[in-house]
Amino acid sequence: MQNASLSITVLSMAVLVGLGTLVASAGPARATSLVPAMARPAIVMEDNAVFQNNRSGIRVRGSLPVAIRGGKVYQNGRAGINLQDQAETTVSRCEIFANHNAGINLRNATRFLLANSSIHQNGTGGLRIRTAAGRANHTRADVIDSRIFRNHQDGILSWPAGDSRVQLTVRGDRIFRNRKAGIRVENRTFFQAADNRIRANGTAGISSWSDGTSPPLLDIYRNTIAFNRGSGINVDSGITGKDAISNNWIHNNLRAGIACGILGSSRRRRINVRILNNTIVGNGSEVEGAGIRADVGSAVEIVNNIIAYNFTSGILTTDCDDYSHNLLFANGEAPNCCTDQGRIPFWVEKIQYASCPGRGSGGLITDPMFVDPDRYNFFLQPDSPARGAGKDIYGAGGLFSAGIDMGATGGPHGFREDRTPQGGTR
């Protein structure tokens, strides 16, 4: 069924529309809610197939809450769903694919929730969030339990301009095989990513960038970030929040596991990042390949990580400081050693730390004893030296004050042993 030109304007009434649709509402803009739950929808669009329209499949403007449920939106001439000007929209159980532009395009929308949906094979990315400079309101977007894959640009792009702000939460999603980054956040994006699988994207798994105004605020924890063609996490500009970059499995990305800054670039950038309790394994190729790389001018704290089998080195910092209590093993040309921490050949240490002297306090160079690294199972065996060797960075006297494991299983956000390591699929 096609309809290339029909559009319907609806004021404060529920609609069920099966064709190219414009939903608009009059009335004052609503303030952005800090509550995760969405407002009760005034308009519900359910079980529609919206396809092959010349312009967007569905376009929503104004602050009237709209819910789009269980539909298919595909092969439209612009975005599949276009949300503009204080739009407050929930999209759930939808499949949005093969649209000429983005799957979902947010432009100055106020509130957006995507849940249990698939966005794939769209022309300019899966979900694009843009806000104009000088807006009084900000955009809040939550992407929950959805699949965003094989889009022709970034899976998710957040791009607030000037002093506008986007609060983006991505949780429980599978984001894979997009041609550019899995998730790219820029400028004043308050970004939280947890429990996602971000795999095999064309550049970085997660990329953070700023045009020189304010860097993104990052909380990235308990994700699996693997097989991306760039770095697992690439922080060109960014500041971490309370959850930092923590408890992620980061493996087999084709550049660095976590890269802060750009090699050889002299552009000033703002990086203040904490990298805690990650398991970073087997990243890199001939192009680039440290487990964690912190380039010139970046403030990066690296604690309690397990970094093994990365291509060129384990931790590569220009200042040779701000790291401690990390376990490194078999990075670069350093061979599989060492059982006696007091007798580690210096050259092994030097390669692991990319020519920097010293391991920092509490640093280990030894086999972390993963359960099954061949199958990407990086949980620790019971007698792993990384168990209980981490530094207490979560508050003295607390539940995790003593005996914190190094790696992604340690600390309050740590993967628990009864969870599968998510290494099976790409």
Partner 1 sequence: MFPGKQTLTALLLVLLLLPTGRTLAGDRCNRAWNWYQEGLGLSDNSTREAFCYQRALELCPDLVEAYTRLGEVYRNQGREKLALAVLRRGRIHSLTSNTFTREPGSGRVFIQPLVTSGEIYRRQGRYDQAAAEFQRALGVEPGSLFAQNQLQYIYKRQDRYASILPPRIQMMTTAIFARIPGMTLPKGGFLLDAQYQTWIQTAPAFEYQLADTVPFLPMDVPELDLPQEIPFNFAPLQRKSQVNLWVLGIRYGLTNNLTIGLMPKFFIRESEVRLEAWDEVATPEVSGFGDTVFMLKYRLYGERRNHLSIYNLLSIPTGDENANGQDKGIFRWIPLGSGSFDFTPGISFSSGRDPYTVQGNLQYRITDGVEVGDELDANLALIWPLNKAVNSLLELNYRWRGEARKKQRIILMKARPEFIGPSFDPVAAGAVEVDTWFTEKGGSTLFVSPGMQFTVARGLKLEVGVKIPVVKEDDGWQEGLVLHVGMTKTIF
Contacts with partner 1, residue ranges (CB under 8 A): 97-98, 120-121, 147, 149-150, 176-177, 227, 229, 252, 254, 282-287, 289, 309, 311-312, 316, 318-320, 330, 332-333, 335-336, 345-347, 350, 354-357, 374-375, 424-426
Is 213 within 8 Å of 188 (Cβ atoms)?
yes
Smallest gap, in angstroms, from Cβ of residue 334 to partner 1? 8
How open is the CA angle 376-379-384, to the nearest 5 degrees? Answer: 125
Cβ atoms of 145 and 172 within 8 Å: the answer is yes
Report the nearest approach of partner 1 to the CB of residue 313 (Å). 9
Q: How far out from the chain centre does Cα 83 lie?
A: 22
Asked if 301 and 274 touch (Cβ cutoff 8 Å), the reply is yes
CB of 254 or CB of 302, closer to partner 1: 254
Nearer to partner 1, 44 or 337 (CB): 337
Residues 6+ apart with CB under 8 A from 56: 20, 76, 77, 78, 79, 80, 81, 82, 101, 105
Record the tokens describing residue 269, joined without a space: 């950038």
Q: Give residue for tokens 């000007």.
A: 85
Residue 185 C-beta: closest distance to partner 1, Å: 24
CB of 161 to partner 1, least distance (A): 33
For 83, the token pair is 């949300």
C-beta of 176: minimal distance to partner 1 in Å?
A: 7
CB of 137 to partner 1, least distance (A): 35
- If the CB atoms of residues 5 and 339 are measured against partner 1, the closer one turns out to be 339
Distance CA 254, CA 263 (A): 15
Q: Which one-letter amino acid corresponds to residue 205?
A: G
Q: Between residues 170 and 330, which has the closer beta carbon with respect to partner 1?
A: 330
3-state secondary structure of 236: coil
Instruction: Give the residue carrying structure tokens 């967007």.
Output: 56
CB 181 within 8 A of CB 154: yes
Question: Whose Cβ is closer to partner 1: residue 191's or residue 227's?
Answer: 227
Looking at residue 151, its amino acid is N
Specify the residue, 2 or 336, whose C-beta has the smaller distance to partner 1: 336
CA distances to 3, 9, 365, 389 from 368, in Å: 60, 61, 9, 11
Q: Cα-Cα-Cα-Cα dihedral of 376, 380, 384, 388, to 10°?
A: 140
> Would you say 361 or 425 has its CB closer to partner 1?
425
3-state SS, residue 351: helix
Minimum CB separation of residue 228 from partner 1 in Å reads 11
Q: Which is nearer to partner 1, 345 or 403 (CB)?
A: 345
**Minimal distance in Å, beta carbon 332 to partner 1?**
7
- Nearer residue to partner 1 within complex by CB, 92 or 167: 92
303 in Cβ contact with 320 (< 8 Å): no
Helix ranges (H only) for 171-308 are none
- Residues 6+ away with beta carbon under 8 Å from 131: 107, 108, 138, 139, 159, 160, 161, 164, 165, 166
Task: Output 69 or 251, the one with its CB closest to partner 1.
Answer: 251
Name the residue nearer to partner 1 (CB basis): 190 or 370: 370
β partners of residue 281: 251, 308
CB of 201 to partner 1, least distance (A): 13
Report the nearest approach of partner 1 to the CB of residue 330 (Å).
5
Of 206, 209, 141, 159, nearest to 178 (Cα)?
Answer: 206
Q: How far is the CB of 84 from partner 1 (least distance, A)?
A: 27
